[in-house]
Amino acid sequence: MAESTPKPVSVNTADASVTIDPYGAHITSWKVGGEEIMFVSKLAKHDGSRPIRGGVPLVFPQFGPGPIKQHGFARRCYWTLKETSQDDNVATIVFTLSPNEYTLDMWPNQFLLTYTVKIQGSDITMDFTVKNTSETTYDFTCLLHTYYCLKDVKDVEIKGLTGKKYLDSLLEKKEFTETRESVTIAENVDRIYLDVEWPVSFHNGSKTVSITANVSDCVVWNPWKAKAEAMGDFADTEYFNMVCVEPGAATKAVTLPAGEEYTMTSTFTVS
Ligand code: TA6
């Protein structure tokens, strides 16, 4: 990593720690009681050459493929560290991102992004705020593309999605209804669950992870064997030890009038 490359920032409380890489304001570690909750591939790039594979990639202003780069530019830019604070109870890191040549070339809109990450006890809260600093209204989609560590993907049972409609990204976004009490994973899964009523929770092999959010979509993704082998920044067998459970506004765009602010917020709790 070049000398000038901004270094990851860590804060901790008596119970937990969080580390954020300025490249993408990307959470790369969240430990509670010394246990890592986030999954980061051992082949992930940490040199700004591509988004970090794992942790919590920030998806903005576009979820998925489309007119601009997949998942947008937020995870592909160096953000500015605004402040850090920590004591035994609470620790916070704040990053901001303003438009630059790269973002304007991709998405010709003015904005100020502020990302506040707070750890307290066994919670981590992420507040992703978009301020429309332009003179015109614009739309965007956004999501926290969270990768969680699993002891064994075969044991994971994701609860809280029963009865919810979902779009299957492997079947041209065809709509289905989840009938199972628990979503289990034994193949490539890539689904956008709609109108989710939080919390959504699962057991990672040692702790229960519970997710709440103020957004209505929840993406569940595991690449499984073939796609794992096709990703250069993901080891062939790492799909056994991760799952993405991703709160976001992925299917219905947020419309933000000039001068207004929108905040996507989510809290992950381990117990
Ligand atoms: O999380 C769902 C998804 O959109 C999948 O379709 C898959 O593409 C994944 O994101 C990873 O995308 P990335 O651009 O990070 O390789």
Asked whether 221 lines ligand 1 (CB < 6 A), one says: yes
How far apart CA 193 and CA 143 sit, in angstroms, is: 13
Q: Which of 124, 128, 118 is nearest to 207 (CA)?
A: 124
Q: How many whole angstroms from 180 Cα to the centroid of ligand 1?
A: 24
Q: What are phi and psi of 104, to 5 degrees?
A: -65, -35
CB-based contacts of 120: which residues, under 8 Å, 6+ apart? 13, 89, 90, 91
Our answer on whether the CB atom of 244 is closer than 6 Å to any ligand 1 atom is yes
- What is the reported pLDDT for 3? 65
Res 222: pLDDT: 98
Query: Is the dihedral angle over the CA atoms 34, 17, 146, 105 positive or is it negative?
Result: negative
Ligand 1 in reach of 169 Cβ (< 6 A): yes
What is the CA(28)–ligand 1 centre distance, in A? 17
CB of residue 217 inside a 6 A radius of ligand 1: no
Note if 46 is an active site residue: no
Per-residue pLDDT for the chain (271 aa), expressed as one digit of tens each?
566 889 999 999 999 999 999 999 999 999 999 999 999 999 999 999 999 999 999 999 999 999 999 999 999 999 999 999 999 999 999 999 999 999 999 999 999 999 999 999 999 999 999 999 999 999 999 999 999 999 999 999 999 999 999 999 999 999 999 999 999 999 999 999 999 999 999 999 999 999 999 999 999 999 999 999 999 999 999 999 999 999 999 999 999 999 999 999 999 999 9
* pTM reported for the whole predicted model: 0.98
Active site residue 145: yes
Of the candidates 130, 124, 110, which has an alpha carbon nearest to the alpha carbon of residue 60?
130
Q: Which residues contact 172 (CB under 8 A, 6 or more apart)?
A: none
Q: Report d(CA 23, CA 37) in Å as an integer.
A: 20
Residue type present at position 153: V
Ligand 1: centre distance to CA 64 (Å): 7
pLDDT of residue 4: 83
Ligand 1 geometric centre to CA of 85 (Å): 32
Atom of ligand 1 nearest to the CA of 71: 14
